[in-house]
Structure 1
Amino acid sequence: MRPVQAQLAFDELGTPLRDTTFVVFDLETTGAPPGPSGITEIGAVKVRGGEVLGEFATLVNPGMVIPPQIVSLTGITQAMVYDAPPIEEVLPAFLEFIGSSVLVAHNSGFDTSHMRAACEGHGYVWPKLTVVCTVRLARRVVPRDEVGRYNLTALALLFGAKTRPTHRALDDARATVDVLHGLLERVGNLGVHSLEELMGYLPEVTVAQRAKRHLAADLPSAPGVYLFKGPKDEVLYVGTAKDLRRRVRTYFTGSENRSRIREMVALAERVDHVVCAHALEAEVRELRLISAHRPAYNRRSKNRHQGWWIGLTDEAFPRLSVVRLPRPGVLGPFRNQADARTTADTLAGASGLRTCTQRISPRSPNGTPCVLAELGRCGAPCAGRQSVEAYGPAVESVSGLIAGLDGRPLHTAAAHVERLAEGQHYEQAARHRDELSALIRALGRAHRQASLAAIGELIAAGPDGAGGWELAVIRYGRLASAGVARRGVPPMPVVEALVASAETVLPDPGPLHGAPPEEVGVLLRWLARPGVRLVRTTRPWAEPAAVAGWQGWLNLVSEAHSLEHVG
């Protein structure tokens, strides 16, 4: 008869500690700082569920003299390590022994820094494993008046370790195993039963906050969006998770250093949720919920407008203006007004548009030419030196560049940078180069977003990592429907069902047809992931070529900029 396996309790969600493999290790060294040499002994014990799975112990030739005080402390002499293997011969076996286990050490920073330096010094990669420090954990759960000091000897005595620490690696590792088990028993009484909870345990989480774990009790282990709600049913905070229940629990037992979030948890009285098909839908729903509720504890709630845009004014001699509304023919969005203004100035200088704000009458201009006119950077239409017809090509080139049809202003700006560099005006050249780079990036971003937002319906599928497909129906830059075709399920019937139930999206005027820029950006990043395929679109998805060809120049500039900083 097969034994009945006990169902995991709510507190044991995550990776249960009893199922976690720990490698408890200790080093002895010559006292030298971390480097490719200096280790004299390694001892390690592999345990899981209280059972010892294996041990690793070896002396190491440190490649240097062991000081007398270290010999007195550890008992390891120069003669003992004379025939011992050097660290470069020990590392492969030790790395194989630890595998993907959770590492444990008393004062882990000392031991891991020496092992990391040894690996780097001999061409090995020190693995990025979870590390538990028994000193740090002891300070959190053992009162000082109970133990006096947090050294290994004191803690081994407190927890009745079977092995007495002797400043020899294997003995100290064995003693640390018993200390670890004693500490885990104590944190278990505080509701910490999984590896995730152990790593997230902090004393700053109050008893009252820990008592709110019941708020996550009814959440499913599924991807989605969670909403913390306050005493007046107001939304305090919105977040996303691959596993709603596990993620929300970390707010009550987790390592949350943000004081505002701890304050939010203290106010919360309920956690609502929305289950999503996959991470893309969760991320989009999070953006929409933040926009709708403006939660006080979400940073993105502070500035929820559609960004800043650059557009031509409607007058006889148009100029570039920074505006808030994304009307047709504008460039953007920009995150802040300063970036928009800088880009507008760069574009005006590259095209020959005026930068003054006065309104100019083509019949009776009565202005005084500015400094830019004297420098040849403005045709001075304010003084009647330039007619509407002569000014027109500059306006057309800017309109064409924003639309992705004309790259002449970019060529003009690049030629100016080259002339400055040839004239050895390097600081000015570098400044104009960086401004041109920012303009190219802004144009590329705007064209990518506009090209997606112009498509009435685009259906895409991305691998879910388990042999199935994550599906998305995108209409005019907005996620209209989302679903999953699991492994073995024909995807096309699922696609048709998603299309039939998808949200109706009516486009608005403007470059993004009313779609929020952040949502378009999220969709573009998802579509660019490896393995994502287009199922079908109502029109070809293409970006303008007039600016896209400048990506190579931008890459060269970025590389040159990096080398300049190195030099």
Structure 2
Amino acid sequence: MTTAPLRLPGGSVVSARASARRRWEAQRSFDELGRPLRDLTFCVVDLETTGGSAGAGSMITEIGAVKVRGGEPLGEFQTLVNPHTQIPPFIAVLTGITNSMVSTAPPIESVLPSFLEFAAGSVLVAHNAPFDVGFLQWFAARQGIPWPRFEVLDTAKIARRVITRDDAPNCKLSSLARVFHASTTPNHRALSDARATVDVLHGLMERLGGLGVHTIEELSTFSAKVSTAQRRKRYLAEGLPHAPGVYLFRDEQSRVLYVGTSRDLRTRVRSYFTASETRSRIGEMVAIAESVTGIECATPLEAEVRELRLIAEHKPNYNRRSRFPEKVHYLKLTREPWPRLSLVRRVTDDDADYIGPFASKRSAEKCLAALHETFPLRQCSQRIARHPTGSACVLAEMGRCLSPCDGSVDETTYAAVVRQLRDNLLQRPDDVVELITRRMALLAEGERFEEAGVHRDRLSAFIRAVSRTQRLTALTRIPHLVAARREDDPLTGSGRGTHWEVHVVRHGRLAAAGVIPPAGDAHQYVAELVASGETVRGGPGPVPAATAEETERILRWLEAPGLRLVDVDGEWTCPVGGATRHLALHDAVHQSRLDLVPFDERRDLPVAARPAR
């Protein structure tokens, strides 16, 4: 099927093995470490308010903030705020802020711009940050002030990852202030609480430093669930670039354990050694990994495709998806005197019509049931002569089969039903959709919801399968397609900025990928990319030259906004009345079922009030 490897413009392979550890320990560059916490400016802020929700009418009564860098204070900000409303008595008792104290204070409309100017260029820090930052954002939006893109740290959240019950009974600010011997005792006044939070922040950072967390990037993904031994393996990411690509974790015998992809290889691989990893098998994988190989790719799409191909090739034990693309099923409408639907494992060049591939036999069987429910084709597997002389089966007696076995139907009538079925598979699925929808409605009216659910699942499997087949076939029948799209480089400091990504697709398979050089001749570059692309020959079936997953990844890129078709050999069309137009409804139903949460399960609710300090 292929005669040349996929071209990798500027592609490279980097292997970071155990010997790299000494180099990493000897010299760690700024680029490797990210942004050290000691070099960042933090603005620690605290608010006092009349209640727990700005949206419900609560107002800010005081703002206090301390700016620090490298452990040293740079400045303080403190002001009372006139809420233009009465402060509830229990709030006045808690904070000591009374109505008379704020009667001459400036309103939030004057205070907020001053605070944002004070905090500019800093990392915002607060204890229970969703409360304080949420109030500030709400009032900024009400005043029409664009919210600066602050990075935010929550000392309460960090403390829950670091502090144990042996250290403190809880993570309230007052408890943490005692643990870290804060110089200021929190007393529900904004500046005092901000000063106490500064000491808590420094105490937490000291502990984090002992755990190998030195940058804000590491802090944002830190979890105590990551073992010390796991953190020590960060050197394995040393040689990886800040670029899109594929990474392969290997054991001491260089066997591939896991394959992944990222827009930033180094940052993603380092996260395995600092981030909270809830998947136990991945934690196990990292523990036995001895090296990481990175394959830099020209574009994120090429990285996704390479990941799929490498997983299929190596079948790593720690990858769960995409390991066996060959283990799929198809529904086949046979070509014989009395055609039937058959469940098969592969596509052959026999001029039959195929639907799929299905990732599981169960989904294929649901789709098959939907079709048999609508079209009374024979379901037996034996060959039937053109002039049969057999006897009717049970399905025929139930009216669910046209019964060609005993001559109950002539070839013309049977062929008309086959044509109708074929039209539902390749053009318009309306007959299946309308019939099953009517049956679901009748069952629902009779409160037979379980039976209606069976029909719903069958219809959903049918719609998804036919839509997938129609979309894949539309692309795989095109011998050659070249497309480009303008992209903004998400990687800070890469120097590439906005660029044009170009992909060459042949019969649904990625044949070449590249990025047009900023000062290069675009036409010449595309011509050279096309000339060096992989040779791909078409074949039978909906996915002849690549796995369905690869072609679907390509389709998502091709269907995204801003795409420009450079060259197309053939026509790229899908049926106007095809199955895809029904997908939105079935996707919405599927998502709503996933979102249902039993009442007795815990729900994540927005922060409504500040916890006790």
Q: TM-score range by the shorter chain?
A: 0.7 to 0.9
Q: Decide whether aligned partners of structure 1 residues 334 and 540 sit closer, same or farther in structure 2, where only a CA change above 3 A counts.
A: same
1:311 to 332, 338, 347: 332
Mapping 1:200-279, distance limit 5 Å? 200-279=221-300
The C-alpha deviation readout for 1:511-530, integer Å capped at 9, x for no partner, is 22231101001111111122
DSSP-derived class of the 2:241 partner:
coil
Q: Decide whether aligned partners of structure 1 residues 309 and 423 sit closer, same or farther in structure 2, where only a CA change above 3 A counts.
A: closer
* Residues 1:379 and 2:399 are matched in the alignment: no
* Residues 1:198 and 2:253 are matched in the alignment: no
* Residues 1:399 and 2:422 are matched in the alignment: yes
- Say whether the 8 Å CA contact 1:239–1:286 is kept in structure 2: yes
Which residue of structure 1 lines up, in the alignment, with residue 33 of structure 2? Answer: 13
Q: Distance in 1 between matches of 2:592 and 2:257?
A: 46
- Say whether the 8 Å CA contact 1:319–1:355 is kept in structure 2: yes
Shift of 1:458: 1.3
- Say whether the 8 Å CA contact 1:469–1:491 is kept in structure 2: no
Which residue of structure 2 lines up, in the alignment, with residue 532 of structure 1? Answer: 563
Q: Decide whether aligned partners of structure 1 residues 60 and 215 sit closer, same or farther in structure 2, where only a CA change above 3 A counts.
A: same
- Say whether the 8 Å CA contact 1:36–1:121 is kept in structure 2: no
DSSP-derived class of the 2:273 partner:
helix
Q: Distance in 2 between matches of 1:397 and 1:97?
A: 71
Shift of 1:82: 4.8
Q: Distance in 2 between matches of 1:273 and 1:424?
A: 54
Q: Distance in 1 between matches of 2:592 and 2:266?
A: 47
Q: Decide whether aligned partners of structure 1 residues 370 and 40 sit closer, same or farther in structure 2, where only a CA change above 3 A counts.
A: farther
The range that moved more, 181-190 or 139-148, is 139-148
Which residue of structure 2 lines up, in the alignment, with residue 445 of structure 1? Answer: 468
The range that moved more, 470-479 or 117-126, is 117-126
Q: Distance in 2 between matches of 1:56 and 1:289?
A: 58
2:394 to 370, 378, 381: 370
Q: Decide whether aligned partners of structure 1 residues 289 and 423 sit closer, same or farther in structure 2, where only a CA change above 3 A counts.
A: closer
Shift of 1:494: 1.7
1:57 to 75, 79, 98: 79
DSSP-derived class of the 1:300 partner:
coil
The C-alpha deviation readout for 1:368-423, integer Å capped at 9, x for no partner, is 35356545x5323234211233211222333344444xx3x624642674698699
Q: Decide whether aligned partners of structure 1 residues 371 and 322 sit closer, same or farther in structure 2, where only a CA change above 3 A counts.
A: closer
TM-score (norm 2): 0.77
Mapping 1:400-419, distance limit 5 Å? 400-404=423-427, 407=428, 410-411=430-431, 413-414=433-434, 417=437
1:326 to 319, 325, 347: 347
The C-alpha deviation readout for 1:316-342, integer Å capped at 9, x for no partner, is 322212221133520112222222222
Mapping 1:60-459, distance limit 5 Å? 61=83, 63=85, 65-68=87-90, 70-82=91-103, 102-108=123-129, 111=132, 130-138=151-159, 140-141=161-162, 151-153=172-174, 155-156=176-177, 163-301=184-322, 303-327=324-348, 329-357=353-381, 360-370=384-394, 374-375=398-399, 377-404=400-427, 407=428, 410-411=430-431, 413-414=433-434, 417=437, 435-436=458-459, 438-459=461-482
Q: Decide whether aligned partners of structure 1 residues 62 and 369 sit closer, same or farther in structure 2, where only a CA change above 3 A counts.
A: farther
Q: Decide whether aligned partners of structure 1 residues 338 and 562 sit closer, same or farther in structure 2, where only a CA change above 3 A counts.
A: closer
The C-alpha deviation readout for 1:252-302, integer Å capped at 9, x for no partner, is 122222221111111001111111111111111000010001111111155
Q: Decide whether aligned partners of structure 1 residues 351 and 22 sit closer, same or farther in structure 2, where only a CA change above 3 A counts.
A: farther
Residue type at the aligned position of 1:299 = R
- Say whether the 8 Å CA contact 1:35–1:121 is kept in structure 2: no
Shift of 1:62: 8.2
Which residue of structure 1 lines up, in the alignment, with residue 546 of structure 2? Answer: 515
DSSP-derived class of the 2:392 partner:
coil
Shift of 1:480: 1.4
Q: Decide whether aligned partners of structure 1 residues 159 and 342 sit closer, same or farther in structure 2, where only a CA change above 3 A counts.
A: closer
* Residues 1:470 and 2:528 are matched in the alignment: no
DSSP-derived class of the 1:394 partner:
helix
DSSP-derived class of the 1:55 partner:
strand
In the alignment of these two chains, the number of paired residues is 553
Which residue of structure 1 lines up, in the alignment, with residue 48 of structure 2? Answer: 28
- Say whether the 8 Å CA contact 1:295–1:301 is kept in structure 2: no
Q: Distance in 1 between matches of 2:141 and 2:364?
A: 45
Query: Alignment RMSD, CA only?
Result: 4.0
DSSP-derived class of the 2:321 partner:
helix
Which residue of structure 2 lines up, in the alignment, with residue 3 of structure 1? Answer: none
- Say whether the 8 Å CA contact 1:43–1:169 is kept in structure 2: yes
Q: Decide whether aligned partners of structure 1 residues 363 and 129 sit closer, same or farther in structure 2, where only a CA change above 3 A counts.
A: farther
DSSP-derived class of the 2:524 partner:
helix
Residue type at the aligned position of 2:558 = L
The range that moved more, 465-474 or 552-561, is 552-561
Aligned-residue identity in percent: 46
Q: Distance in 1 between matches of 2:112 and 2:401?
A: 69
- Say whether the 8 Å CA contact 2:433–2:459 is kept in structure 1: yes
Which residue of structure 1 lines up, in the alignment, with residue 530 of structure 2? Answer: 499
Q: Decide whether aligned partners of structure 1 residues 420 and 361 sit closer, same or farther in structure 2, where only a CA change above 3 A counts.
A: same
- Say whether the 8 Å CA contact 2:340–2:378 is kept in structure 1: yes
Q: Decide whether aligned partners of structure 1 residues 210 and 561 sit closer, same or farther in structure 2, where only a CA change above 3 A counts.
A: closer
Q: Distance in 1 between matches of 2:535 and 2:365?
A: 36
DSSP-derived class of the 2:268 partner:
helix
Q: Distance in 1 between matches of 2:558 and 2:120?
A: 35
Shift of 1:75: 1.4
Q: Distance in 2 between matches of 1:370 and 1:418?
A: 25
- Say whether the 8 Å CA contact 1:309–1:331 is kept in structure 2: yes
DSSP-derived class of the 2:538 partner:
coil
Q: Decide whether aligned partners of structure 1 residues 317 and 155 sit closer, same or farther in structure 2, where only a CA change above 3 A counts.
A: same
Q: Decide whether aligned partners of structure 1 residues 196 and 532 sit closer, same or farther in structure 2, where only a CA change above 3 A counts.
A: same
The range that moved more, 523-532 or 335-344, is 335-344
Q: Distance in 1 between matches of 2:46 and 2:273?
A: 33
- Say whether the 8 Å CA contact 1:414–1:433 is kept in structure 2: no
Q: Distance in 2 between matches of 1:444 and 1:462?
A: 25
DSSP-derived class of the 2:339 partner:
coil
